């Protein structure tokens, strides 16, 4: 059976991901890890998570947890600057199909 999905069936998903620094990362042993917003175009949340995991692995980062993932849609932000910024990141992910990571917050080593 042939897959009948088209790119127009895909949506932009965004996630808040807790990550760790893998061996090989220049930050491994320096920082514990952190959290990052990730944006990915996918057909469902599972595919988006797989794409995000692949992007992080390519940067020598591991996924500790995905705190949430949702279709980006009409996400309301607290202020206009954030709204414009994240709407723009979502639009880039939607138009290019690439995974975009934004707003890294790093944890100090324990």
User: If you average pLDDT over every residue of the chain, what do you get?
Assistant: 90
- What integer is the mean pLDDT of 70-89? 92
Question: At 6, is the pLDDT very low, low, confident or very high (cuts 50, 70, 90)?
Answer: low
pLDDT over 50 at 1, yes or no: no
- What integer is the mean pLDDT of 63-89? 93
Number of domains in the chain: 1
**Helix or strand run (H / E) with residue 49:** helix 45-58
**Is 4 contained in some domain?**
no
Distance CA 68, CA 10 (A): 19
What are phi and psi for residue 66, nearest 5 degrees?
A: -110, 110
Give burial (CB, 10 Å; 0-12/13-18/19+) of 41: buried
pTM: 0.87
Q: Are 101 and 35 in contact (CB under 8 A)?
A: no
- What integer is the mean pLDDT of 8-36? 92
Domain span holding position 48: 9-108
**Is 76 contained in some domain?**
yes
């Amino acid at each position: 059976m042939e897959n009948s999905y088209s790119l127009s069936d895909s949506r932009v998903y965004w996630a808040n991901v807790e990550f760790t620094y893998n061996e090989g990362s220049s930050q491994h042993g320096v920082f514990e890890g952190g959290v990052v917003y990730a944006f990915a175009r996918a057909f469902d949340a599972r595919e988006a998570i797989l794409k995000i995991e692949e992007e992080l692995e390519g940067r020598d980062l591991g996924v500790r947890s995905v705190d949430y993932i949702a279709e980006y849609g009409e996400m309301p932000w607290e202020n206009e600057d954030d709204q414009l910024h994240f709407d723009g990141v979502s639009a880039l992910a939607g138009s290019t199909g690439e995974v975009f990571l934004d707003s890294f917050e790093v944890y100090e080593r324990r």
